[in-house]
């Protein structure tokens, strides 16, 4: 399990998409603002397990970004090989 500090550093170092589709029902129109709000909420409620879903949401956002970037890079590589 990543610490909040590690997650915060990851989000600061990586480019975030402007918006993000989490699943069919969840859409984030402003990814940067959402991530900042989740982090601030967790920092202000440190140690309170009632806020664990906020942490889970950050992890999910990170995983979606990583997977979508990975897929894009592989698609580009595959197209380059085909040429």
Give pLDDT tens digits for 50-74.
Answer: 999 999 999 999 999 999 875 565 4
The two structure tokens encoding residue 82: 């085909």
Alpha-carbon gap, residue 39 to 30, rounded angstroms: 14
> For residue 2, what pLDDT is reported?
92
8 Å CB contact between 41 and 54? yes
Alpha-carbon gap, residue 10 to 29, rounded angstroms: 20
Alpha-carbon gap, residue 31 to 37, rounded angstroms: 10
8 Å CB contact between 35 and 61? yes
**What's the pTM value of the predicted model, to 2 decimals?**
0.81
Predicted confidence (pLDDT) at residue 80 exceeds the cutoff of 60 = no
């Amino acid at each position: 399990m990543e610490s909040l500090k590690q997650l915060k550093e990851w989000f600061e170092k990586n480019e975030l998409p402007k918006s993000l589709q989490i699943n069919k029902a969840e859409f984030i129109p402003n990814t940067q603002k959402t991530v900042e709000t989740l982090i601030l909420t967790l920092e202000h409620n440190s140690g309170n397990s009632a806020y664990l879903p906020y942490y889970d949401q950050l992890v999910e956002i990170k995983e979606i970004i990583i997977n979508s970037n990975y897929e894009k890079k592989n698609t580009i590589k595959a197209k380059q090989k085909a040429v």
